[in-house]
Structure formats: structure tokens, C-alpha cells
Structure 1
């Protein structure tokens, strides 16, 4: 017997599914928010454009297809894509089994006199070549080497001679992948906004409803040439100095994470790949007798800031020149990047603000 959730306006085919929904979603039910009035920013209005950044004359046109004319590039059609997904990703068939499946499929088509219904791939190598042609997926890691560049004497401490490694993604590519994810459609704010209840009380919910986003959009609209009609994209960062791995030579790292401020908070809490690691920074180690020297403490902070600057360098051009970027609804918009909140505990805040431990970083 079907069930209907009056709060979510969803129907369920069985009472078991309805009970599971109530247990997971409505364990601690919240009252519905009062009706509100929403005012969106006029300057950074997130107008739709083409992939070259030219605004569309008709803002109501449907979005362009994601993957070329057939929607499954580089696969020929949906059958070829689904076959690859089933056999290669989910079943993880061996090369020999895949070759046998394709051979039997081809033989069946010949026996029935339908050579045009041949399998989507001639061989396993053809299938693997098609997978390699797909221009999608996670960006690769890059390794950077950093070392002390000041004067070094024969009796200088060992940390001055070491080469420190840190690894990073291309942050511009990460931002583009997050923004174009269709799973965020409906959970992605394109414009800063203010929201008020009927009695005039302002309501804050996600990052784009806050005062910082509104003021930053106003500043960009007035000071950045060609920014009118663009979309503010706040870069939300986070770091945790917890050691995640130890490599050779006692080299330690700690991760840096990134998200977009346009994504709603509930998507970040739901583990929907809206927060991704973008870097693993080095943690330099000093000797037991010079680990607390002031010069070494300054070097550690300089290394931290230099590494972060290098990680965020791909985003710098998009902070002054709008960068065309695809959004969850499939349309392109001109993005203006801006460094937003940095989520960190107090020791991390000391490194970020360059203050003495015990002082207020603000």
C-alpha cells in the first residue's frame, strides 16, 4: 500500500520504505519555516552565457548537451556506455572474459543475419581506448618541491638543507568539476540574496544569504571591470593539521579541503562530494635542539603560506577576469572567484593569521 509524506510531498510504494524515510529524514522533525521574501543581488546577476562567455540574448533557452551530440561522448551511444559501466566498473570482468563476451555477441549477430547489430566494441583494447578518451574524472596530482633559500653555513641546522614536498590538485579544474555536477542542481545559489520574513526579520541559511557575500558582490560589481552580470563563486577552504600519512624520510603531510560557497549546507553535510581534498601540505621537522628557534618557526609559517599561494594560483586570473564555467543546471555563467571562509581550528588559525600563539587571530 502506497504511503505519502506530507512534509516532503513524496510518495512511497511500501510502508517499509515510508517508515525508513521517516526514521532517517524526520527523526527530529522541524517546523516549516515561515514564508519569506527574497531579494537577489542586481550587480552580479549570474546571467547565462555560452562556453566563450558571451551572454545569451534569450535567457530562457535550454542548456547545451553535456557530452556532445549523443550525450555519451566518446561512447557511440547509451548501450556502449552502459556495457562499459556494467562489465568494466561494476562486474570488473577480466580481459579474457570481456573478449569472450564480445566474441559471442558478434557470433550471435552473424548467425541471425544482423551484422549491423554488432557489439559496441571490436575488442577489449577498443573498449580501453574509449575509456582513455573520456575527458572527465578527477584531476591529477602535482608535486611541488620547496626548500629554504636563505644563507646556509656549514653548521646550519638540517631543516635548512631539506627539500619539502607537497601535493596539490589544479584548483581551477576542481572548481569547474564541483560547479558542473548535476547532483547539485536545485542546491546551488547563483546570486547572493537577502531573505526576510513577513515581520521584517532577516533569515540566514546558506553562505550566499549572508552579509559577506552581499557586500563582496557589491564591491566586485563596482571595482572589477566587466563583472556585471557575472556569478560570485566563493572558495571555501578548510585544513586540519592531523597527520594523514608518513612517507620516506619522515616526511609528513596534512590535508587542505575545498568547496564552493554556492553549494547549500545540507549537501556538504550529506557527504555528496561537495568537499574535496585539494592539497597535502608538508610539515617540516626541526632537530631536538633547534625546533623551537624563532627562525625555524618563521620558516614553517612562510612554507605554509607559500604552499597555499601556489595551490590557489590557478584561481587568481578568475578573480579579476570572469571565467566561463558550467553550472549544475547545465548552463554556462561567467564566474568571479573570491576567497571565502577558511574553516580551521585554533592552531591552524595562528598559522593563517601569523599571530603569536594565544592571541586572537581576528
Structure 2
């Protein structure tokens, strides 16, 4: 952190929190500035509380407090530039509020927070004999640019994002058009988290109302956009031609070049960026025309959030509604089993008039299994939707190889081969009736995905998920802290963003300085597995672990691989709470409460098998007791990046109750040590025998909790039902000597579970309306093993798990 004022630097050597009295006063100042408006701060400081003998802050007003924060060391400064178009006037001046793009790039490139998450050189990553395409620096474009630069040069790839957003509700139209910037040197898993602050807001493009015919408004706005971008990135263009010396996070000076490699935008915004001189948009001087290496053919990659998920909501979902019927589709979605961490559409999916892309994504997960077998859903129709969904899932992979790209292209080709089934079903409809073509602009964009992946790396890193969040944190939230006056709200938002950025820097600086921690973010050895991708929290956790609570960030992923139970090959970690949900149960009580009549028999068989025919006498089903849990957590390593720990998933095993007459129990995949086969099972009970005082239990009873599970039998493979492409399973029933039919159960160790999975009922031509979310896993005959439940599961099952 650099001080430009020698006097402040001298004072801060004595008191790191200067101009504040101490760190406590700084924390108070930071709190009220982040949460109160200027008016509210003045009211707070005038409370009678401060008029008594009680201590009060050394700052007396909001203006004085803001003044102190404004003199703290900060990043690149904001400035204002006014534009005029000859013969075209506006109601208010066209004022661009911006920061110099090159200064922002330098600031990001030198930020010590990211020092352990930086890349500087193109490199090849091989999986067997195949090349991987993941980070930008593994892409073909990185090598092409590097080969055109002087020896020893460093690429600082610029990635931009922008979108217009309304900042007020029901007030008629205050809009903002921010521009965001990050650099490709920062690892994508860090860049993709808005809370990591790897993106910077660098400008607010004016959105004027021109005194001109309505037909010219869009043209003039487009020209203004490109003129503003020219101003913001003028120095970046020069640096791309001749280079610029920059300090990296470790303080080393590098000769850097700043090409624009990617621009994240939805289709209308992308068309604005790629405007051509051939009368397509009226822009004859696009901002990238003189930016070396900038080429819209490369720098506008497929944007997954809008190109894929919004496409699904705008088109594929509507096709399914037309074919299956809204009422039928709603009934099926209402009846899906509820899993913790998964969106459940308890009111159906047809009533939502304005869905977000996140909701589209959640509906995608179960659409194929839901519509399969419906009366009007022909195999070709289902197959086409399935192929399209597979294409979306494959495109979201953070790491690709030539084989995975070929598989993705094959899915798209499969959709085109079968899409006539959608037209034959009459699913494509518009305001004037049935549509007999697929003239959809976004559908054409899908064919660019393979080339973009090879050119720029995984497309998921260029998704608009982050920029959508930045629109909220950098426009809508700050607007709530302004005076909400149309004439000055943009300037006020800029001041708020500048102070927030300054306070974030100063907070980290004072914490490190006060505790004598180094200001260089270096690590001696890299962790074998990574659970924390927030760089600031990771730095503090390593150097000052007791101070982590000082920083408000995303809740860290709890790493159960450190303290939890591990599977035999350490590929999964498990966690149950220290205190069980039921401390002591006799076996008969458990059988009654959980409605598991053969529990004792199954447990006896497990003990006999585990003890090799010599069961222990220290615990028996007749006199022993057990403790039970209603759920457990399972945590896996990422299939794409084996060092990355995924968030844990909850697997439920609740006993029958009034709300869930059959219990509320989830499904899992199981792999037993004596077999390489994988089984599908429903977890009915999580338990562990408890030893009587003075006695010890054998390892097979106390090493880990045990599960009572009921298996499913595979009825059909994906090849047997190619239109759905999933395993179809059925419940297993036995009949005893009295003629009673029941589902048999088995006891397995908790560590035999390999992952949690989702089962979706096979609803058939018309769904049985007695099926509900409370009983859908208990009363249906057949189920689909849903490979679209999440991206990790899809990757596992798409490689033919069983």
C-alpha cells in the first residue's frame, strides 16, 4: 500500500490507522460509511448519546469522515469527460465518468492479494496425449499473441464486461451502463467470484436522450459508446503496441502488453461491440479498430448465461410446455423429491412470468426426466431436447480436451439431426401460430463454441454470472446510499465505489501492519487440496487465522477432508454432527420409528460378515442401543480440478412423520470394498451402535457410522432408451414366507457412499396426481437416475459410470 503524502506516511508508521485514532475507530468509520447515507451519518453523530460524557468519534460530521477516507491511499482516480455531437443536442450533458484503463490494469496486476493466483506465460497442459484448454494461458490465442511479442514480454490479457441496468424500481427509468474490467493473469476460479474483487468498475457510459428522430437514437447511442471506449482505453492500445513496464504482485518489473482478448456480453451488447462499418449499426469507427490483436471473431466468446440458459427459458422450456401441457408439467415439477441445496418448484414452472437465468438453469436439471414418456412427447422430441441440454452442460466444463470438444459438437449435431421432431410436435409457436423453422440467432452462436474454447480456453470463465452480480453490487446497492437525484446519482455512486475500494485496501493494510504481518503475500508450499478460493481470506487464514472474522466474504467451504471421515481411496469425505439427533435407541425402537422391520436381521448379517463369522459379544441387537442422525454430509473433489474441494452435500434420512409418511430419504451411489460394482441405494437410516460403559466395540461398529439402505435395480441403460440417455431403475421387493411384500435393506459403512444422486420418477404418459414431493421416492415403480442434477454428476455419468 503506497502513500503519496510523506506526512501521512510518517504518521502511519506510528499509527497504521491514521487519520483515525486507532483501529477500533477505523472499524466504526468503515461500518457506518458502508451502511448509512450521508444524511444518516450526520444524524448518527448528533445523537444525544454523544453529548454526554461518553466518548465520541474524533470525526464530527459526515463531510469530515468522507474527507478523511478520501485522503487515504487509493487506487486509480475517477475523472469526468463531456462529449458533444454536432447537430445532436441532449437534455443533459453527455458526461462520461471513467478511470484510465491502463492504470486499473496496473493496479490489478500489482495487487498482492492475487500473488498466489497469477499466471504470466502461455503453457501446454496435457491429459494423456490430449491438450487441455482451460485458463486463457492454455489457449491457442495466448500462444499466437506471445509469439508476436518481444522476447521476455508478458501478456496482460484484458477481459471486459458490460450491460445496461435499471437502478430504480417503478420510478421510470434511471439506467446505468457500467464497464467492468479484469485481467486473464488471475486464475479463473478466483476471477469468477464477485467477492474476490478481481473485477473493477472503470466507467459509466452516459445514456442520453437525443433531440432526434427515434430511428436515430440507437445509432447515436452506439457511436457514443465507441467514442467513450476509445477514451477509456487509449493508453491500453498504446501499451499493446509498444509495451508498458509494470510491477507484479511480488514487486518484480515486467515488460507488459495489454491486448483485449475477451468481451463478456449478451447478444445485443455483443452486436454493439462488434459493430461494423458496412451500415450494420452506423458505427464506422469501432473502439477496437486500432487495438492490436483485438478481433471480434475471437474476443466475443459464447456467453453461457444468456446464450445457453436464457435460450433454454425462451425456447426449449416453451417447447416443452406446448407439448406436455402447462398443467402436466407443473404437476410433475411439484412432485419432484426435495433435496437440500437444490431448487424445488413447489408451485410449478409455468406461472413464473419473469424468470432469471438461474431459474432457467434449475429447470434444465430435471426437464428431460420429467417429459420422457409424456403423451405428446415423441422420442425424437425428447432426444432433441436432451441433446441440446447435453450441449449446454458440456459447454460449461471449465477444462476441455479435443475429445470433449468433439463430444460437445456431436451433441449439437445430434440436436440438429433430430430438431424436426420439435416442429412435428407443433412445439414452435409464435403470436401468429405454428412456426416451421429454427431461425433463432442464438442457435447459430452455438456453432462458435468449439472454436472459442480452443482460442480462449473454457467458456465458463467468460460467463456473465459475475457481471450480473457486479451490476447489483456496483449499481443498485450503491444507489440506495445516494440522495437518489437523477442529476447527480452517477457521481455519487462513483464516490461510494471509490470509498468502498479504498476502505477494503486500508482495512487489509491496517490489519497486517497492526499485527506485524508481512505485506508480501507469499507461501512456502502449495496445498495439496484447495478449499478456499477467496484470495483475501486465504491470505489472512494463513498469516493471521484469528482475524478471519474481520473480513466479510463468502462463507468458506468447510474442508471435511481435514477432520472428517474418509472413503477407502480418500476421494470422498463425510461429516456427521457430534451430537446425534437421537442419543439412545434400542433396536426394536429404531425398527418401529423408522418403519424398518428387517433392520435387526440386516444388522446381524452385517456383523456376521464383518467379523468373519465370529460376532462380538460386547454388543448385540437384542440388548444393544444405537444413536441416529437425520442426515450426513458428503464432500468430493472436483472432477475437473482434482485439487479443488467442492462444497459438501447433505444426504437426508428422516424417519416417517406427519409431513413425510414414508420418511424423507435421499439416494446415493454406493461402492463396496469387495466389489468394483456401483449400486444405487436410498439411505433410510444413519446410525451407530453405542458401547456400554466399560466395554469397547470392534472397529467395524465404531470406526464410522453405518447406513441402512435399500437398493434399486437397474432396469434399463442409456443405450436401451437413447432418447432419454439415462439409467432407469426400479425398487426391489421381496416376499417372505407369510406372503408379505417388503423392500429389503442392507447395512453398509458410511464410507461406502461415493456421491449423492437424484432420482426422478418415471411419470409415464400422464402423471398420477396422488404423487407428491413427500412420497415421490416411495410410491412410484421406476425412476430415472438424473445425470443432469449438477455439472459434477453429469461429468461422472457422461463417461459411462457403471
**What TM-score results when the alignment is normalised by the length of structure 2?**
0.28
- Mapping of residues 120-159 of structure 1, within 5 Å: 136-149=73-86, 152=87, 159=89
Q: Does 1:178 pair with 2:108?
A: yes
SS at match of 1:297: helix
Partner of residue 299, structure 1: 220
CA RMSD of aligned residues (A): 3.7
Higher relative contact order (CA 8 A, sep 6+): 1
How many angstroms apart in 1 are the aligned matches of 2:13 and 2:192? 33
- 1:242 pairs with 2:177: no
Aligned residue number for residue 274 of structure 1: 198
Among 268, 279, 287, the residue aligned to 1:347: 268
Paired position in structure 2 for 1:314: 235
| Residues 131, 167 of structure 1: alpha-carbon distance in 2 compared, 3 angstrom cutoff | closer
Shift of 1:309: 0.8
In 1: Cα distance, 2:179 partner to 2:24 partner: 35
Matched residue, 2:181: 258
**Cα–Cα, structure 1 residues 167 and 67, in superposed 2: closer, same or farther, change >3 Å?**
closer
How far apart, CA to CA, are the structure 1 residues paired with 2:189 and 2:256?
23
1:86 counterpart = 2:23: yes
Cα distance in 2 for residues equivalent to 1:200 and 1:177: 39
Q: Post-superposition shift, 1:76?
A: 5.5
Unaligned runs of 5+ in 2: 31-44, 59-65, 282-440, 449-802
Residues 1:228 and 2:165 are matched in the alignment: no
Select the residue among 88, 97, 111 that pairs with 1:167.
Answer: 97
Residue 337 of structure 1: aligned partner: 258
Q: Alignment length, in residue pairs?
A: 248
Larger radius of gyration: 2
Give the structure 1 partner of residue 511 of structure 2. Answer: none
Q: Report if the CA contact (8 A) 1:87-1:98 is conserved.
A: no
Change (3 A) 1:182 1:172: same
**Mapped contact 1:166–1:253 kept (Cα < 8 A):** no
In 2 relative to 1, CA 132–345 (structure 1 residues): closer, same or farther, beyond 3 Å? closer
Residue-by-residue CA offset, 1:89-146 (whole Å, 9 max, x unaligned): 21339998577xxxxxxxxxxxxxxxxxxxxxxxxxxxx9998876x31322211111
Query: Which ranges of 4 or more aligned residues in structure 1 deviate by more than 6 Å?
Result: 93-96, 128-133, 359-362
Structure 2 counterparts to residues 17-166 of structure 1, below 5 A:
74-75=9-10, 79-82=14-17, 84=20, 86-92=23-29, 136-149=73-86, 152=87, 159=89, 163-166=93-96
Question: Offset of 1:205 from its aligned partner?
Answer: 2.1
Q: Higher helix share goes to which structure?
A: 2
Question: What displacement does 1:308 show?
Answer: 0.8
State the Cα distance separating 1:256 from its structure 2 match: 0.6
Does 2:125 align with 1:190?
no
Shift of 1:346: 0.6
- Residue segments in structure 1 that go unaligned for 5+ positions in a row: 1-65, 100-127, 153-157, 222-226
- Contact 1:244/1:255 (8 A) holds in 2: no
Moved more, 80-89 or 210-219: 80-89
Distance 2:91 2:263 in 1: 31
Match of 1:12 in 2: none
